[in-house]
Amino acid sequence: MKTIIAIDGPAASGKSSVARKLAKTIGFSYVNSGSFYRTATWHMIAKGVDIQNPESVATAAGTADFFSGFENGESFFEVGGQRANITDDAVNRGVSAVARVPEVRAVVNAHLHALASVADCIVEGRDIGSAVFPETPYKFYIDASPEVRQQRRSAQGQADEVAARDRQDSSRATAPLTIPEGSTVIDSTHLSIDQVVDAIVSALESRGLSPTP
Ligand code: DC
């Protein structure tokens, strides 16, 4: 049985940087589930799928040739043997529409479960502690003020409006963004990445998990 650490939170809350650093610190593999939804979105846009139509999206998800694995301690997700341009503006704008479709979520979740069956993982996303791995005792929810999150996104050279995406991700019917029951909530508004990582390592140690790389 592998150990799963779930890290959820809204867009640009710092969870990717934290999850990647934490994975290196404790010797776990890093899985960025958002990149899976982004890859699916990129693929559907490239294929001309009407991503606002859930039926078209579901059909495309069922026929796409997705493949996942690990490489240098991180997950990758491919479609038709290709890696997506996941930070494309059209992907930023379209990903929430694709991610709300249950058939897409089922495909992504099957890959997440397969990855987590072969390695101890830190999995970050929106529904990891609430829906994908609800049985894990190690759940964290990283938040930050909307202003700081928008600043962080802009500093990455990205122009997407994080508040709009959060609204869509929080209000969808299937596995919406939520604070998972039993999770430790960390407000990273005034914290550095290292401070958040330290807080998580302390919380893990206090729960008896002291992994060493
Ligand atoms: O973490 P991110 O910003 O790269 O995620 C992109 C989108 O993917 C996010 O707006 C909603 C969706 N997503 C999701 O629905 N469930 C997850 N576990 C991870 C991401």
User: In this model, does residue 43 exceed pLDDT 60?
Assistant: yes
Separation of 126 CA from ligand 1 center, angstroms? 6
Instruction: Please choose, from the candidates 98, 3, 80, 116, the residue with its C-alpha nearest in 3D space to the C-alpha of residue 44.
Output: 98
Pocket test residue of 13, 15, 33, 127 for ligand 1, highest count of atoms within 8 A of CB = 33
The reply to whether 211 falls in a domain is no
d(CA 177, CA 171): 8
Question: Is residue 61 scored above 90 in pLDDT?
Answer: yes
Residue 97 has pLDDT above 60, yes or no: yes
β-strands 138-143, 4-8: how paired?
parallel
Residue 20 domain flag? yes
Mean pLDDT of the chain: 95
Ligand 1: atom nearest CA of 86 is 4
Q: What pLDDT does residue 36 have?
A: 98
* Ligand 1 atom closest to the CA of 37, numbered from 1: 8
Token digits for 6? 């779930």
Residue 54 CA from chain centroid, whole number? 21
- Give the pLDDT of residue 159: 77
Report which of 128, 95, 86, 91 is spatially closest to residue 109, judged by C-alpha positions.
128
Query: Hey, is 129 helix, strand or coil?
Result: helix
CATH number at residue 21: 3.40.50.300
Q: How far apart are CA 142 and CA 209, in angstroms?
A: 19
pLDDT score for 212: 63
Interatomic CA distance for residues 130 and 172, integer angstroms: 14
With 70 as the cut, is the pLDDT of residue 49 above it? yes
Based on the structure, what is the number of domains in the chain? 1
**What pLDDT, on the 0 to 100 scale, is given for residue 210?**
79
Is 212 part of any domain? no
Mean pLDDT, rounded, for 119-136: 98
Per-residue pLDDT, averaged over 153-174, amounts to 90
Residue 169 CA, closest ligand 1 atom number? 11
Q: How far is the CA of 96 from the centre of ligand 1 (A)?
A: 7
Ligand 1: residues within 6 Å at CB?
Answer: 11, 33-34, 37-38, 95-96, 99, 125-128, 165, 169
Least confident of 18-27, 38-47, 202-211: 202-211
As given in the structure block, the two tokens for residue 2 are 């592998």
Q: Which residues of 148-180 are buried (b: 16+ CB within 10 A; e: fewer)?
A: bbbebbeeeeeebebeebbeebeebeebebbeb
Q: Which helix (H) or strand (E) holds 139?
A: strand 138-143
Q: Whose CA is nearest to atom 20 of ligand 1?
A: 34
Q: Which residue segment(s) compose the domain that 174 sits in?
A: 4-206
Asked if residue 167 is part of any domain, the answer here is yes
pLDDT of residue 156: 85
Question: In the predicted model, is pLDDT for residue 213 greater than 60?
Answer: no
Residue 16 pLDDT > 80: yes
Residue 82 in domain: yes
pLDDT digits (tens, 9 = 90+) for 169-212: 999 999 999 999 999 999 999 999 999 999 999 999 998 897 66
Considering the chain, what percentage of its residues have pLDDT values greater than 70?
Answer: 99
Asked if the structure places residue 213 within a domain, the reply is no
Residue 41 covered by a domain: yes
